[in-house]
Structure 1
Amino acid sequence: MATYISLLRYTQQGIEKIKDSPARLDTARKAFEQLGARIKDFYLVCGQYDAIVILEANDEAAVAKVSLALGSRGNVRTETFRAFTEEEFRRIVGALP
Structure 2
Amino acid sequence: MVDLALIKPRLMGPNFKRLLKSLSLTKWRVSKDCNITYRTLINWQAGKTTPSDELAIRVGKYLGIIGSTEQEIMEIKKQMKELQDRIERLSK
Fold conserved (TM > 0.5)?
no
Q: Larger helix proportion, structure 1 or 2?
A: 2
TM-score of the aligned structures, taking structure 1 as reference length: 0.31
Using CA pairs under 8 Å that are at least 6 residues apart, name the structure with larger relative contact order, 1 or 2: 1
